[in-house]
Amino acid sequence: MTTTLTRLAEDIGLKFSTVKSARWTSSRWPADRRQRGVSYTVHRILAYIENDQERFDAILTPPGGKARWTPDDASRRVGNRVETPVTPKEKITAIHTLAQDDQVAASVTSDFLKRPEVTAKVTTVDKARVVEEFTRDEHVATTAATNLLRRPDVAFRAMSDDTARFQVNHAQVERSRQARDHFEDTSPVAPAVKKIDRTVEFLDLVTACHSFVAAAGRAVPGLRDRTLGEDERSIVHENIAKVRATLDWIETAVDTGKVDMDGELARMLRGE
């Protein structure tokens, strides 16, 4: 049969696929079931209805009380993509089809994101997902985070998150440590400065202790004749536990020179 159709296609100057499709369509529509005034295209599309009786009944009843079938109506009937999308779902399907090429999809996405009325309708969750996808590259993520943290309101809200604040503080400490290590490894004056550094660190530590004691001395008297609520007491106790753990850490560092933070203390300071 394939050989016969191939020869027929060659004889009439059509593609084999075209001839094969026409033969299949004809097999789905016996002569007495074909409808005058209904295009071959509609017959071909409705031919995908599997049940014979359903198919024969469908071609007699155009949708929506229309006088005749159109190719798009037939495509909707069998669930195919339409040529002229009307509903939002059809338009979305058309966009997805046209944007299957990555370069086209990237250009379309860039254009859409430049339209405030479009981005305004995207949910907060979806916006966050888009940002996460766009910032998988570390260079892009660094640039975006830097620009966002330059906005005071964003920086304030971000630092309200204990984990985010801990990570930022940790990054600052790590950056300082790397800068110091580089200085000590490369600078000829590092040995002389190291002694001064120790003095500065001592002063910083004493100043931090003094500031804490002074702040507590101002705040605690204000609690006279006042009973804190259960939630308030819980919060204060949690912070006292952090302070005690930090003081133990300071004592260990002062007595032994070991400044490594154990896992439990790190989790406590992160609020975990």
- Cβ 43 vs Cβ 34: under 8 Å: yes
Strand stretches in the chain, DSSP E: none
pLDDT digits (tens, 9 = 90+) for 83-127: 888 888 888 777 777 777 878 777 777 777 777 877 777 787 777
Q: Average pLDDT in the 242-269 region?
A: 79
Residue 71: the pLDDT is 92
233 pLDDT more than 80 = yes
CA 230, 233, 236 angle in degrees (round to 5)?
150
Residue 52: the pLDDT is 92
pTM for this entry: 0.40
Contacts of 60 (CB under 8 A, 6+ apart): 35
Amino acid identity, position 92:
I
Q: Report which DSSP code applies to 222.
A: G
What's the pLDDT band for 11 if we cut at 50, 70, 90?
low
Q: How far apart are CA 62 and CA 71, in angstroms?
A: 11
User: For residue 71, which of 79, 83, 61, 59 has the smallest C-alpha distance?
Assistant: 83
Residue 9: the pLDDT is 67
Residue 194: the pLDDT is 66
CA 156, 159, 162 angle in degrees (round to 5)?
150
pLDDT digits (tens, 9 = 90+) for 218-229: 888 888 888 888
> 3-class secondary structure for 15-78?
CHHHHHHHHHHHHHCCHHHCCCCCCHHHHHHHCCCCCHHHHHHHCCCCHHHCCCCCHHHHHHHH
pLDDT digits (tens, 9 = 90+) for 159-173: 888 888 888 878 877
Q: How far apart are CA 164 and CA 186, in angstroms?
A: 33
pLDDT digits (tens, 9 = 90+) for 41-82: 999 999 999 999 999 999 999 988 888 899 999 999 998 888
The ranges assigned to domains in the chain are 2-84, 89-156
- How many Cα atoms are found within 13 Å in the side-chain-facing hemisphere of 199? 5
Q: Average pLDDT in the 234-244 region?
A: 87
What's the pLDDT band for 135 if we cut at 50, 70, 90?
confident
- Pick the residue with more confidence: 130 or 211? 211
- Residue 115: count other Cβ atoms within 10 Å of its Cβ: 10
| Residue position matching structure tokens 């604040």 | 165
- Pick the residue with more confidence: 65 or 240? 240
pLDDT digits (tens, 9 = 90+) for 12-29: 777 877 788 888 888 899
196 pLDDT more than 70 = no
Q: How far apart are CA 185 and CA 179, in angstroms?
A: 10
Task: Give the 3-state secondary structure percentages of the chain, helix then strand then coil, rounded to 5.
Answer: 75, 0, 25
